[in-house]
Structure 1
Amino acid sequence: MRALRISLVVLVVLAALFTAADRVALKLTEDEAAEQVRAAQGVSGTDSASVEIHGFPFLTQLAARELDDVDVELTGMTAAASGQEVKVARVDAELSGVRVDGAFDSATADEASGTADVSYRDLNALAPRGVRVAYAGEERAARNQVKITARVDVLGREFELPSPVYSTVRVAEGNVLRLHADTIPGSGIPGAEREVRRNVDFQSDVTGFPKGLELKEADVTADGVTFALDGRDVELTR
């Protein structure tokens, strides 16, 4: 009996040591992975990146160089649209089947999904000159619309639109963001609608997200637009 008790104690101690080593290795790996993702996506200053790796034990996943499930959070990532830099306030991504090398110099996820938040201030960086994008209220947001105010050039004359227009926000294939006005003031005047739309309707190709991660749809909120993300074979570091 005494030998059995000693064996049980030894097993408990070894299990505790293994668990402690597993958790230490997990924390070190999460921190290193966060730094790699931070560097790859150009996150700097007071902005941050964090990585949370799920599953136990972690050491067996690390030995296999494949992580079951990983959550990544980024604040202040920089994307690009139509040649201009656009700050993405926050990116949350859930990854599965993440294949890594020993130093986390590269990591690729079999599947990824998540969201990216862009504020109205940063959306305005994409708008044509004289066009401002703003929250249109709860009812309009439920229809995925934003409010557009604009100073437009029509037939060589510049003037302020007499009332706001409301534009629907959509994502088209190829990571293209599109805003299209529902109705245009003065549309009964011949040629007026075409000229106004030339100013207030616009689209932008959005780049800068990890390769393989695509914009799927847009959801208008009080703070800006939240984009749904989805992808296969997503490259997290480079």
Structure 2
Amino acid sequence: MAEAYPTEGRPRRRGRKVLIGFLVLLLVLAGLLVVADRVAAGVAERAIADQVRQEVAKQDAQSAAPKVEVGGFPFLNQVLAGRYERISIQLTDVKGSVQGDTVDVPRLDVDARDVTASLDTIRSGRGDVVAERVDGRGTVTYDSLAKLLKRPGLTLGERDGKLAVTAPVDILGVKLTVNGTAAVTVADGKVALRFSDLTADGLPNVALARTLLANYARSISIDVPLPELPFQLNVRKVEPRPEGLVVTADAANVPLNSAR
């Protein structure tokens, strides 16, 4: 008669089921933690967006509702540490004032790095939120820039990476269309436009006509102040692009919720 031996497979299968169940539980808990982390980040993003909206209003500017994204994961660890890797802010349809004229900035992207804010500040909205470094990039429309030059009919645009101008002029009783480009630089927080080598088809071939054209070039070669940028951003570079004059700016140690 054959001797019966205990089967060892069942305990092993039962052990595998317990392990699988434990792993599934861990995955569920991890998923819940990720969801909670993103929910908390969303609450912070809405609170920061509201503060940004208030700061924009303080500068007599307007914009669409700010979009805020808090970078870095996990967010809750950053909350406990009171330090955030990155906060990205996007402002669209920004309208600022320069010498009584409205300057349109279709989009302004702000990237704040190494931001410090206490847990109480995030919860209550009171206290300092300070970024170690802030980088900004915005676009000024050519139409609003041309208005600042106060020359009827003058239009600006981009041509081969340069700021191009087209304008009607009257030289010695002859109505002409002037074309040319300008050197664009930043000086003391202003955009310096220096037009040179303007041309006009049909320009009378006399010295006086050429002098009058040169005088016109000097009259539109001005330093254009930009609207005050939020977060104490200082303009560092301007570059003509097809969509407008792209402005690059930065600042250090910036209070994001009390910018002047």
Q: Name the TM-score class by shorter chain.
A: 0.7 to 0.9
Q: Is the 8 A contact 1:41 1:78 kept in 2?
A: no
Count of residue pairs brought into register by the alignment: 229
Q: Is the 8 A contact 1:87 1:118 kept in 2?
A: yes
TM-score scaled to structure 1, two decimals? 0.79
1:205 aligns with 2:255: no
Q: Is the 8 A contact 2:86 2:113 kept in 1?
A: yes
Distance 1:221 1:13 in 2: 49
Kindly state the Cα deviation for residue 16 of structure 1 after the two structures are TM-superposed. 2.8
1:162 aligns with 2:179: no
2:44 aligns to what?
Answer: 29
> Mapping of 1:49-198 within 5 angstroms?
49-100=66-117, 101-102=121-122, 103-104=124-125, 106-130=128-152, 132-136=154-158, 140-142=159-161, 144-151=162-169, 162-184=176-198, 188-189=207-208, 192=212, 195-198=215-218
**SS of equivalent to 2:147:** coil
Go from structure 1 to structure 2 and tell me whether the alpha carbon gap of 1:231 and 1:194 turns closer, same or farther (over 3 Å shift). same
Structure 2 portions without partners, runs of 5+: 1-14
Structure 1 portions without partners, runs of 5+: none
Distance 1:161 1:200 in 2: 18
1:216 aligns to what?
Answer: 236
Considering only CA atoms, is the larger Rg found in Structure 1 or Structure 2? 2
Kindly state the Cα deviation for residue 80 of structure 1 after the two structures are TM-superposed. 3.4
2:3 aligns to what?
Answer: none
Q: Is the 8 A contact 1:148 1:165 kept in 2?
A: yes
Kindly state the Cα deviation for residue 57 of structure 1 after the two structures are TM-superposed. 0.8
1:18 aligns to what?
Answer: 33
Kindly state the Cα deviation for residue 25 of structure 1 after the two structures are TM-superposed. 0.6
Structure with more of its chain in helix, by fraction: 2
Kindly state the Cα deviation for residue 151 of structure 1 after the two structures are TM-superposed. 4.6
Distance 2:174 2:56 in 1: 39
Kindly state the Cα deviation for residue 132 of structure 1 after the two structures are TM-superposed. 1.9
Go from structure 1 to structure 2 and tell me whether the alpha carbon gap of 1:235 and 1:208 turns closer, same or farther (over 3 Å shift). farther
Q: Is the 8 A contact 1:72 1:92 kept in 2?
A: yes
Q: Is the 8 A contact 2:198 2:213 kept in 1?
A: yes
Moved more, 177-186 or 72-81: 177-186
Kindly state the Cα deviation for residue 229 of structure 1 after the two structures are TM-superposed. 2.1
Q: RMSD between aligned alpha carbons?
A: 3.2
Moved more, 93-102 or 194-203: 194-203
Distance 2:66 2:220 in 1: 35
Kindly state the Cα deviation for residue 234 of structure 1 after the two structures are TM-superposed. 3.0
Q: Is the 8 A contact 1:175 1:207 kept in 2?
A: no
Q: Is the 8 A contact 2:111 2:134 kept in 1?
A: yes
Distance 2:56 2:81 in 1: 26
TM-score scaled to structure 2, two decimals? 0.73
Q: Percent identity?
A: 22
Go from structure 1 to structure 2 and tell me whether the alpha carbon gap of 1:104 and 1:117 turns closer, same or farther (over 3 Å shift). farther
User: What is the letter of the counterpart of residue 66 of structure 2?
Assistant: A
